[in-house]
C-alpha cells in the first residue's frame, strides 16, 4: 500500500492509496461546505444542493447520471454533514475514469434546473418526514440543537419544510459557484489505481474549478439547553451532552479513551451497569463528536418510560465514579480497542477513502497510522481521570428526550 | 486467496479463505437454527438464547465474555435471523485462538443462569420496544406476518413480550442442547490465517459438540394477507410482497435481475418513476428474500399520507409495464450491477465470512464466484419478462402499512 498526496496550483488536493491486490476502486470528492456554513435563511441548502447535483448537467440528464455508473456495475452516492459534503463512487478498477468523469461533471456543470428543483423539494420533504418518524434519529437532532442553541452548527442538516420550500434555483447555483472551488475540494481514492493516473484525471476533468476563498464557518460555542418532546412511544430516548473536544484539541485522544471506557463497548461501564447488571436498556452508549473548533461528549439510552427516571442517576453515578480514574484492566481494554479500530478501519476501501478525505479537510495532511497509534498510547490513566472530571465540571449541559411517559421527571440529580 | 473446506467426522464443517496481506481475521460460528424453527409457544427463544450465550459459562462470567475479546482490541457480536443464528468476532490475526476459544466456550458451556435470565428478559423487552418505535422496521415484521400467516417463518424474531416472559432457564438449556449440535454448525473464517490452524482449533475447542438430528423447519407456504396499523406519523410506510423464489429455485437469478431492474438502484424503474419523475418518495425500492423452501419479492415506499393513495397505482403500473420485458440498456445495467456486487462483497472480510457461512448452511458447499457470475450471465431478457408476469399472476398478495392518513384508501388497483 502506498499513500500519495498531490497539490495542484489551483489549490485542489488529491490523495490516494494504491492497493494492487484489489479489483475495485473507491473514489470520493470532498467539499469543505456543510450545514454549519449556512445562514439561517438558507438552512438545508447544502443538502438540497447535494440532491440537485444528481438532477442534470449540461451533458447529462438525471437519468444518465444514475445509469452511467450503474451500467458498469458501480455504485454512486453522496451525503451532507454539518462540516462537509461528499460525493463518491465504488467501481471496478478499469471504470475509474468513467466514475471520475461523472463526479467531476456534476460538481462542475450542474444546471439546478427549475422544474427539477420543484420535484426534488418534494423528495426532500419526504426525507424530512422519514427522519421525523425515527425517534432515535430525531433525538440527536434535538441534542445538537440543545448543545449549540441558535447557531448554524446546531441546526438540522436537512433544513425545515419552510426553508427548503424557499430555495430558488438561483440560490442553489450561487451557492454552488461560491463554495465548490478548487481549494475547497479534496479528491480521495483507494484501491487498484496509480496515483499519477488519478492526478491526470483531476488535471483534465476538474480544470474548470474556479479559485475562491476557503469556506468559513462562524466559530461555534457549546451553550447547553434542554429539549423534550413527548410522543406516544414504547420507549423514551434519552440523550445528554457535555462540551467535548475539537479535532485540534490536545485532549482529543484522552477523550476517546475516556468515552470508550465510559460507554464504548460491551465491557464499558454504562453497558455493564445499565444493561448487564440492571437490565434497564437494550441500547446504551457514550459517543464523541468533533468539529474544527468544538465537540461534545454524549450519552444515549433507550428505556421504558417507567424506568427512565431511575436510569439517569445510574448513568451519572458511573460518570462520577470514573473521575476517580479507570481500573488498570479497563484502561488496557480501551487502548487496545482504539488501536485495533484504527487498523481495522484501514482495511475497508470505502472507510479508508473517507478517512483520508476527512483528514485532508480537517488537518490539510494525512495522519500516518503510526502517529495515531502513538497518540493513543500516550494517553495515561491520569489523563482519563482528568478528562472525566473536566466533563463533569462543565455547567453547560445539553439534554434531549423524545418519548412516552412523564418526561419532566427525568433529571440529572 | 485460497478457499478450503473441511468436514470433521462429527459433522462439523469448517470453511476458510486465507488472505495473508491482511492484519485481521473475521471468524463466525453459524448455527442452523432460527426463528422459523420455533413452536408458537417458544417464539423468540432462538433470539433469547443468543442473548443468554453472552451471560456466562462454566469458565467465564458475562463480564469476562465481554472483556476478553475487547481487551485484545477485538469485537464480538451475534445475531438471529429467521433461518439461523450467528456468533462472530473480528480480531487481529494473532488473536484468532483467543476469539475461537471464547466463541466455542459460549456455544458449548453456557449456563443460562436463572438470575441472569430475569435481567436479560428486561433487556429483550427494551429491544422489542425499540423495534416497535421504528415504523420502517416494524412494517417489515408485519409484511412477513402477512405473507406467511400463522407460520413460524412469519413471526417476529424477537418474539412477543408474553412469550419472552414465559421462557425458563430449563427451556433455554434444552433448546441449546438439542440444536447446537456438530452437524448444525459451520465455522467460517476469512483473513490472515492458515486453514490447518483453524481446523486444529475446531478439533480442540469444539470437541465437546454433541451429535444430533439436523434441525428441521416445517415447510412454509406464502399465504398473503393485509395488515394495516394506523399511527400518528409524518409518513405512511407502505410494503407489499408476492411469492418469490427459494435459494434452490431455478429462477433464483432471474428474480435477482428482475428485482434489480424494478427497484434495485438509482436507475431502476421505481426510483426513476416514483422518486425522480414524481417526487412521491425519498425511499422507494424492491427487494427479494429467500429461504430454503420459499421466498418473496417485495416493494417498500415511504410517502406522505396525502400521496399514498396515488402512489400504489404508479408502482403497480411499473410492475405491469415490466411484464413486456426490460429495455436493452436496463437489462445490461442490472446484470452489471449484480456481477460487480458479487465481486465487491468478496473484498470485505466480514461480509465474505458471512457469505461462506450462509452458503454452507444453505447448499452444503461453497459456490465459486465464477459459478455465481455465470448464473447471472445466463439470465435472458425473456426470463425477466416471464418472471415479471409470474409475480403478477399470483393471487396471493401480502401487504403491510404503518402510518398516518386514511390507510383504507391505499389499494392495488
Residue B44, domain CATH: 3.30.830.10
> Per-residue pLDDT tens for B355-373?
999 999 999 999 999 999 9
Judge: A266–B344 Cβ closer than 8 Å, yes or no.
no
Please, which pLDDT band fits residue B29 given cuts at 50, 70 and 90? very high
Tell me, what's the pLDDT at B215? 83
Indicate which of B94, B121, B266 best probes the interface with A, i.e. most A CBs within 10 Å of its own CB: B266
Residue with grid cell 443468554, as numbered in its chain:
B52
Task: Return the residue in A67, A118, A372 with the most chain B beta carbons within 10 A, the one to mutate for interface testing.
Answer: A67
H or E stretch including B402?
strand B398-403
Q: Does B210 fall in a domain?
A: no
The shares of helix, strand and coil residues in chain A, as percent rounded to the nearest 5, are 50, 20, 30
Domain boundary (A205, A239, A270) is at A205
Give the nearest partner residue to A70 out of B21, B136, B337, using CB atoms.
B337
Quick one: pLDDT at residue B159? Answer: 98
Minimum-distance CB partner of A130 among B54, B276, B302: B302
Quick one: pLDDT band at residue B45, thresholds 50, 70, 90? very high
Minimum CA–CA partner of A277 in chain B: B119
Banded pLDDT at B347 (limits 50, 70, 90): confident
Same domain, B387 and B247: yes
CB-based contact A337 B130, cutoff 8 Å: no
Q: Does the beta-carbon distance from A304 to B121 stay under 8 Å? A: no
Q: Which of A363, A323, A372 is closest to A343 using CA atoms?
A: A372
Q: What is the pLDDT of residue A146?
A: 98
A142: closest CA of chain B, how far (Å): 17
Q: Of the residues B50, B120, B273, B354, which is catalytic?
A: B50
Q: How far apart are CA B6 and CA B197, in angstroms?
A: 12
Closest CA to B26 of B353, B363, B391: B353
Q: Which residues of B touch A338 (CB under 8 A)?
A: 73
Asked if residue B239 and residue B199 are part of one domain, the reply reads: no
Instruction: List chain B residues with CB under 8 Å of A123.
Output: 275, 279, 281-282
Residues B190 and B234 in one domain: no
Q: Give yes or no: residues B190 and B289 share one domain.
A: no
Same domain, B229 and B195: no
Q: Report which of residues A381 and B413 the model is more confident about.
A: A381
User: Do the chains contact at B279 and A120, CB–CB below 8 Å?
Assistant: yes
pLDDT for A215 equals 84
Burial A384-410 (b: 16+ CB within 10 A, else e): bbbbbebbeeeeebbbbbbbbbebeeb
* DSSP 8-state secondary structure symbol assigned to residue A220: P
Domain membership of residue A210 (yes or no) is no
Q: Which residue of A has its CA nearest to B274?
A: A123
- Select from A151, A175, A205 the last residue of a domain: A205
What is the distance between the alpha carbons of residues A57 and A113, in angstroms, rounded to a whole number? 9
d(CA A367, CA A249): 15
What ipTM was assigned to the predicted interfaces of this complex?
0.92
3-state secondary structure of A71: coil
Candidate from B130, B333, B349 with C-beta closest to A347: B349
A80 occurs within a structural domain: yes
Domain boundary (B176, B205, B234) is at B205
| Contact across the interface for A62 and B234, Cβ inside 8 Å | no
> What domain range includes position A249?
225-409
Interface A-B, measured as beta-carbon pairs within 8 A, has a size of 202
The 3-class SS string of B39-54 reads CHHHCCHHHHHHHHCC
What is the C-alpha separation between A29 and A108, in angstroms, rounded? 12
At residue B213, the pLDDT reads 84
Q: In this structure, are A250 and A136 located in the same domain?
A: no
Cβ-based contacts of A67 with chain B (< 8 Å): 266-267, 329-330, 333
* Rounded Cα distance, A151 and A296, in Å: 15
Cα angle B337, B339, B345; round to 5: 95
> DSSP code of B221?
-
Whether B242 is covered by a domain: the verdict is yes
* Residues B159, A136, B271, A186, Cα dihedral to 10°: -130
Residue listed under C-alpha cell 478498477? A93
Query: What is the distance in angstroms between the Cα of B9 and the nearest Cα belonging to chain A?
Result: 35
Contact A144, A225 (CB under 8 A): no
Q: What's the pLDDT band for B66 if we cut at 50, 70, 90?
A: very high
* Contact criterion met (CB below 8 Å) for B62 and B120: no
pLDDT band at B1 (very low <50, low <70, confident <90, very high): low
Contact yes or no for B71 and A267 at CB 8 A? yes
Angstrom distance (rounded) from CA B246 to CA B220:
11
- Please indicate, yes or no, whether residues B254 and B147 belong to a single structural domain of this protein: no
Same domain for B129 and B257?
no
From first CA to last CA, the distance across chain A in angstroms is 52
Chain A hits for B308, CB-CB cut-off 8 Å, are none
Q: Is residue A333 within 8 Å of A257, Cβ to Cβ?
A: no
Q: Do B292 and B174 belong together in one domain?
A: no
Inside any domain, residue A57: yes
B243 and B135 in a common domain: no
Render pLDDT for B211-256 as a digit per residue (tens, 0 to 9): 988 888 889 999 999 999 999 999 999 999 999 999 999 999 999 9
Q: Could you give the percent of chain B with pLDDT greater than 70?
A: 100
User: Is A320 noted as a catalytic residue in this protein?
Assistant: no
CB contact under 8 A, A71 and B343: no
Same structural domain, A44 and A131: yes
- Which chain A residues contact residue B302 at CB under 8 A? 126, 129-130, 133
Query: How many C-beta atoms surround the C-beta of residue B20 within 10 A?
Result: 11
The better pLDDT of the pair B127, B396 is held by: B127
Name the domain count of chain B: 2
In a shared domain, residues B189 and B335: no
Half-sphere exposure of A29 (CA within 13 A, CB side): 28
3-class SS at A301? strand
Question: Would you state the pLDDT for residue B26?
Answer: 98
Quick check: is A216 in a domain?
A: no
Mean pLDDT by 10 residues, chain A (413 residues): 93 97 96 97 98 97 95 96 98 97 98 96 96 95 98 98 98 97 98 98 97 87 96 95 96 98 97 95 97 97 93 96 97 96 90 97 96 98 98 91 92 71
Which among B119, B133, B348 has CB closest to A135? B133
**Across the interface, which of B129, B233, B340 has its CB nearest the CB of A133?**
B233
B105 vs B99: CA distance, rounded Å: 10
Nearest CA in chain B to A74: B337
Closest partner residue to A282 (CB to CB) among B67, B123, B338 is B123
Which grid cell is B234? Answer: 409524518
Give CA–CA dist A180/A174, Å, rounded. 10
Q: How confident is the model at residue B413 (pLDDT cuts 50, 70, 90)?
A: low
Is residue A16 a part of any domain in this protein?
A: yes
Residues of chain A above pLDDT 90, percent: 93
* Per-residue confidence (pLDDT) for residue A413, from 0 to 100: 56
User: Could you tell me if residue B144 is inside a domain?
Assistant: yes
What is the predicted pLDDT for the residue at A1? 64
Amino acid at each position: 500500500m502506498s499513500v500519495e498526496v498531490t497539490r495542484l496550483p489551483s489549490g485542489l488536493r488529491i490523495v490516494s492509496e494504491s492497493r494492487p491486490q484489489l479489483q475495485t476502486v473507491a473514489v470520493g470528492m470532498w467539499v469543505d461546505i456543510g450545514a454549519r456554513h449556512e445562514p439561517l435563511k438558507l438552512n438545508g441548502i447544502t443538502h438540497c444542493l447535494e440532491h440537485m447535483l444528481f438532477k442534470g448537467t449540461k451533458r447529462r440528464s438525471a437519468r444518465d447520471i444514475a445509469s452511467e455508473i450503474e451500467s458498469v456495475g458501480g455504485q454512486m452516492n453522496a451525503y451532507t454533514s454539518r462540516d462537509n459534503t461528499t460525493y463518491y463512487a465504488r467501481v471496478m478498477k478499469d471504470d475509474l475514469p468513467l466514475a471520475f468523469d461523472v463526479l467531476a461533471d456534476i460538481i462542475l456543470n450542474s444546471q439546478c434546473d427549475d422544474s427539477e428543483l420543484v420535484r426534488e423539494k418534494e423528495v426532500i420533504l419526504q426525507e424530512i418526514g422519514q427522519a421525523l418518524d425515527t425517534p432515535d434519529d430525531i433525538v440527536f437532532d434535538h441534542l445538537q440543537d440543545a448543545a449549540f442553541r441558535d447557531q448554524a452548527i446546531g441546526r438540522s442538516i436537512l433544513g425545515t419544510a419552510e426553508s427548503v420550500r424557499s430555495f430558488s434555483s438561483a440560490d442553489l447555483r450561487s451557492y454552488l459557484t461560491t463554495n465548490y472551488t478548487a481549494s475547497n475540494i479534496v479528491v480521495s481514492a483507494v484501491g487498484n489505481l496509480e496515483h499519477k493516473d488519478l492526478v491526470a484525471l483531476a488535471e483534465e476533468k476538474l480544470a474548470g474549478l474556479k479559485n475562491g476563498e476557503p469556506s468559513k464557518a462562524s466559530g461555534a460555542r457549546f451553550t447547553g439547553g434542554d429539549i423534550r418532546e413527548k410522543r406516544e412511544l414504547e420507549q423514551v430516548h434519552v440523550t445528554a451532552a457535555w462540551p467535548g473536544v475539537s479535532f485540534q484539541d490536545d485532549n482529543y485522544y484522552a477523550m476517546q479513551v475516556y468515552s470508550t471506557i465510559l460507554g464504548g463497548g460491551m465491557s464499558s461501564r454504562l453497558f455493564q451497569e445499565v444493561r448487564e447488571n440492571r437490565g434497564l436498556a437494550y441500547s446504551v452508549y457514550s459517543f464523541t463528536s468533533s468539529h474544527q473548533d468544538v465537540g461534545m461528549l454524549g450519552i444515549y439510552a433507550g428505556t421504558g418510560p417507567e424506568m427512565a427516571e431511575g436510569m439517569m442517576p445510574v448513568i451519572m453515578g458511573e460518570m462520577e465514579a470514573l473521575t476517580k480514574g479507570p481500573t488498570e484492566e479497563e484502561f488496557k481494554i480501551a487502548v487496545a480497542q482504539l488501536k485495533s479500530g484504527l487498523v481495522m478501519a484501514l482495511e475497508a476501501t470505502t472507510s479508508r477513502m473517507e478517512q483520508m478525505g476527512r483528514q485532508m479537510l480537517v488537518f490539510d495532511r494525512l495522519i500516518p497510522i503510526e502517529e495515531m497509534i502513538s497518540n493513543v498510547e500516550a494517553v495515561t490513566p491520569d489523563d482519563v481521570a482528568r478528562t472525566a472530571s473536566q466533563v463533569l465540571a462543565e455547567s453547560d449541559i445539553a439534554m434531549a428526550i423524545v418519548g412516552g411517559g412523564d418526561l419532566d421527571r427525568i433529571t440529572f440529580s
